[in-house]
Structure 1
Amino acid sequence: MDNLCCFNSVYSQVVGGRSSCSSGKGRSHQGPVKYGFTLAKGKANHPMEDYHVAKFSHLRGHELGLFAIYDGHLGDSVPSFLQKHLFSNILKDEEFWTDPGRSISKAYEKTDQAILSHDPDLGRGGSTAVTAILIDGKKLWVANIGDSRAVLSKKGQAIQMSIDHEPQSVEALIQTRFILLHSFPGDVARVNGQLAVSRAFGDKNLKSHLRSDPDMETVDIDSETEFLILASDGLWKVMSNQEAVDIAKKTKDPLRAAKQLMAEALNRDSKDDISCIVVRFKG
């Protein structure tokens, strides 16, 4: 493996952890699926606030690929909590094996309640999340809150598997609930002039205006499904879905693909933290 992150005792096989580690890769023990991840701190004057998960786990005779990016704001306490607890809350639910979507939704809400109940230990910050669970290399479940994004490549065409929860995307609804201010930086619509997403974990002082229930998509992995990209908004602010797919499809090495995506985002002057995971389904 290439420059793996520090050991995380939560997981039996480590390739997930603090996003300040630069890059790593891994593969399935039962099929051709491989992944690579790479991460970089942005130019903002605060510590790196992203965490990630990228690993395969075996449970009840099944192989599960677990992939996630948690993009924090106002500190790294909440994304760190998510990295330790969200997948655990999903997989310990017995209903996961009969209704994965319901288990994922319940776990998102349960984890958010746990974050709020740990206040003030976790501070007043929050985090977005995009998660992907690959079951036996055949079924993919993607869930998200916030503006980190999942994009699937099928026959070279980009398919967005998540929804960007930006305030302006549901402006007609949320203006009846709270004030939207177009404030600096960048004249971006913000919840109460503070937060540029309409769903997030944590953010206790804004919670009456935010949702923590995820949007979900599921897809069967077939012979035409090539790879999945998970990335924080530091990448998507400067790159379209199709542009990202076109870059990643140039190499079959998912780690190299993730590095090339990050290099292009930096070349386009992305100033935010960038976290990127590429999961390639075919050899």
Structure 2
Amino acid sequence: MGQTLSEPVTAKESAYCQNELYRVGSSCMQGWRINMEDSHTHILSLPDDPGTSFFAVYDGHGGATVAQYAGKHLHKFILKRPEYKENPEKALKQAFLDIDYEMLYNESWGEQMAGSTAVVVLIKNNRLYCANAGDSRAIACINGEVETLSLDHKPNNEAETKRIHEGGGYVEFNRVNGNLALSRALGDFIFKRNANKKPEEQIVTAYPDVETREITADWEFIVLACDGIWDVMSNKEVVDFCRKRIGMGMYPEEICEELMNHCLAPDCQMGGLGGDNMTVVLVCFLHNKPYEELIARCAKNNNINGSSDNITTTSSMDVDHLDLK
């Protein structure tokens, strides 16, 4: 699990942004960990492609350097790819490798021990592209039902184990070389030194899986979060948790805060569950309608008074509008 504090840091950095298509909230919390190593991004309108939105969560390990760099730059690498306009899926895959190359050679981080997961959602022309490397995760709620947008990359997955072995590594205690608990990541260059293998064939690779979906009027929201959330709650539990609170009239950033509080361990003796850094981005689809219509839609199908989980109503936070460039 890593080093922990004697008491968790529960202060949260929360933000929101909104346009006619989305109401987005985010929040992050250090929790029991010695340092905060996560990063995240939400951009309603990409500067070089104004009709496209970009959301991402990066869960760093061994330091925050790679996660922070990705948070500032990965979307730029995607937009620079020559395939971007015609083939965003390919552009996403190559951009993950491009930013890895940049950090390794041009930023001279080859000896850096740090790495980071990356789960990215790009929405362009009503089509969603989700690129994932690592065990952060994205899910959607479509008409109240869970839609999985990414699969976790764990060393004991059959395909991941095969690549690890062929790259010259091994899996021990469900970890790469007995060390790393995920099998794809940005950074972690110590696992990317096989000169006879392509970047996507290394023991640990930055090469992402990409899922594509068509956005319809039934799409209600998506959640991107690090494994500090998914280790504690299932996809369905997270969807139900968020949908219930939307139906209560809560704003996305407030829901992100409550979700982290719900997952936070009461002490640091729970085998790592609830003891990690936590970051959540909640993207609510407005479909050119007021947020109140989504509230009404979720409330209609929710038995709020009969809820079995602990609901605490909070007031709207006074947070700055965030639309990163």
TM-score (norm. length: structure 1): 0.84
The one-letter code sitting in structure 1 at the alignment partner of 2:222 is L
Q: Which residue of 1 aligns with 2:56?
A: 68
- CA-atom RMSD, angstroms? 2.0
2: distance between equivalents of 1:114 and 1:276? 27
Q: Secondary structure at the match of 2:43?
A: strand
| CA displacement, residues 226-277 of structure 1 (integer Å, 9 cap, x when unaligned) | 1000000000000000000000001332222212221211157600000000
Question: In the alignment, is residue 180 of structure 1 matched against residue 168 of structure 2?
Answer: no
**Secondary structure of the equivalent of 1:96?**
coil
1:167 is paired with a residue whose SS is coil
Paired amino acid for 2:260? M
Equivalent in the alignment of 2:31:
42
CA–CA separation in structure 2 for the residues paired with 1:39 and 1:149: 15
1:216 is the counterpart of 2:241? no
Distance in 1 (CA, whole Å) between partners of 2:123 and 2:77 is 16
The answer for the alignment partner of 2:279 in structure 1 is: 275
Deviations 1:82-132 (A, max 9, x none): 112210011123421111111111101111111111234872211110011
Corresponding letter in the other structure for 2:117: T
Structure 2 counterpart SS, 1:95: coil
CA distance in 1, matches of 2:109, 2:148: 36
Which 10-residue stretch deviates more, 238-247 or 74-83? 74-83
Structure 1 122/258 Cα, relative in aligned 2: closer, same or farther at 3 Å?
Answer: farther
Q: CA deviation at 1:60?
A: 6.0
- The answer on 1:249 being equivalent to 2:237 is no
CA contact (8 A) 2:103 2:109 kept: no
Which consecutive unaligned segments of at least 5 residues does structure 2 have? 1-10, 193-201, 267-272, 292-325
Q: In the alignment, what sits opposite 1:263?
A: 261
Distance in structure 1 (CA, Å) of the matches to 2:71 and 2:46: 18
Equivalent of residue 124 in structure 1, options 113, 123, 135:
113
92-101 or 272-281, larger mean C-alpha shift: 92-101
Kindly provide the CA deviation profile for residues 193-250 of structure 1, in whole angstroms up to 9, marking residues without a partner as x.
1100111111111124111110011111111111000000000000000000000001
More off after superposition, 86-95 vs 148-157: 86-95
Aligned residues: percent identity?
34
Q: Deviations over 1:25-58 (max 9, x none)?
A: 0012xx23110001101312x3111111012125
Q: Which one has a bigger Cα radius of gyration?
A: 2
Superposed displacement of residue 158, structure 1: 1.1
Aligned twin of 2:97: 109
Q: Distance in 1 between matches of 2:182 and 2:116?
A: 10
The answer to whether the Cα contact below 8 Å between 1:180 and 1:191 also exists between their aligned partners in 2 is yes
Using the alignment, how far apart are the partners of 1:175 and 1:121 within structure 2? 22
CA distance in 1, matches of 2:74, 2:48: 19
For 1:159-200, what per-residue CA distance to the aligned partner results, in whole angstroms no more than 9, with x for missing partners? 110110001112652445422111xxxxxx110111001111
Aligned pair in 2 of structure 1 residues 32, 110: CA closer, same or farther (>3 Å)?
closer
Segment drifting more, 201-210 vs 237-246: 201-210
Pick which of 144-153 and 93-102 moved more: 93-102
**Matching residue within 201, 217, 220 for 2:186:** 201
Q: 1:172 to 1:53 in 2, by over 3 A?
A: closer
2:122 aligns with 133
Pairing 1:27–2:12 present: no
- TM-score for both structures, normalised by structure 2: 0.73
The yes-or-no answer on 1:167 pairing with 2:171 is: no
